[in-house]
Amino acid sequence: MLSAELRKELYEVGQRTSQVEKKMDKFAEAHNSLADKLQEMEAALQEHKLKLVDIEDRIRRNNLRIRGIPESVLPSALNTYLLDFFQAFIPEIHPDQLLIDRAHRLRRPQHLPTTAARDVIVRVHFFHAKERLARDCRAAEMLEPYQVLKIFTDLSAVTLQFRKRMAPITAALRTHRVAYRWGFPAKLLISYKNGIH
């Protein structure tokens, strides 16, 4: 009698254990499926982030960031000041090619002293004119009253962080006189032995 009851209890325990194992198998399958989906979603999210960075940088393609324009230059006078500045360095470009769509000052960063001038973002209507301005103004010797000005390409924060991380590499490339250029989205294109890497 005792052994029959024991066998019955052992059978019931075995059945419950079997059911628990089946449930655990289902949970493991569901977990694995969720983990796979999570990896897919993370990859898709990363791809979308890169596309957004690319879109933001492309929207800014015609922009220049100019540092050093005195705060005494009022917003209403920015366009005139910028046109004079551009024509001082590229007098051969016809003024019609130097159309400015808009120009405005950026907010003052917290670390910037109140005496320092805020950067100005200017959108040049024609891309080829903007590219020439960026190239020629950087290479030219600055004349009065523009010698304090610096010109930068206007880029997204993500791209700027990427370029900052790449600074040791680009410094080494310049030291060894290896040509490179920046690609979109954030990537470094190195010209070496008749190939782009």
Q: What is the pLDDT of residue 111?
A: 84
Q: CA dist 126 to 6, 36, 61, Å?
A: 91, 47, 10
63/40 Cα distance (integer angstroms) = 36
| Residue span of the structural domain in which 29 resides | 1-59
Is residue 11 scored above 80 in pLDDT? no
Answer yes or no: do 125 and 107 share one domain. yes
Answer yes or no: do 44 and 73 share one domain. no
Answer yes or no: do 65 and 143 share one domain. yes
Answer yes or no: do 105 and 136 share one domain. yes
Is residue 96 scored above 70 in pLDDT? yes
Highest mean pLDDT among 72-81, 103-112, 134-143 belongs to 72-81
Q: Going edge to edge, which strands form the sheet with 180-183?
A: 180-183, 187-192, 195-196
- Token duo for residue 2: 């005792």
Report the domain count for the chain. Answer: 3
Q: What is the mean pLDDT of residues 100-118?
A: 88
User: Smallest Cα–Cα separation from 125: which of 156, 149, 94?
Assistant: 94
Residue 48 — very low, low, confident or very high, per pLDDT cuts 50/70/90? very high
- CATH number for the domain including 189? 3.30.250.20
One-letter identity of residue 176: H
Answer yes or no: do 54 and 76 share one domain. no
Answer yes or no: do 55 and 5 share one domain. yes
Answer yes or no: do 148 and 159 share one domain. no
75/120 Cα distance (integer angstroms) = 10
Answer yes or no: do 146 and 66 share one domain. yes
Task: Identify the residue with better confidence: 145 or 41.
Answer: 41
183/197 Cα distance (integer angstroms) = 11
Answer yes or no: do 72 and 137 share one domain. yes
- Token duo for residue 154: 């206007």
Q: What is the mean pLDDT of residues 144-152?
A: 81
Answer yes or no: do 45 and 71 share one domain. no
User: Smallest Cα–Cα separation from 155: which of 189, 121, 125?
Assistant: 121
Answer yes or no: do 71 and 141 share one domain. yes
pTM for this one? 0.70
Answer yes or no: do 99 and 175 share one domain. no
Q: Domain boundary residue among 119, 139, 154?
A: 154
Residue 142 — very low, low, confident or very high, per pLDDT cuts 50/70/90? low
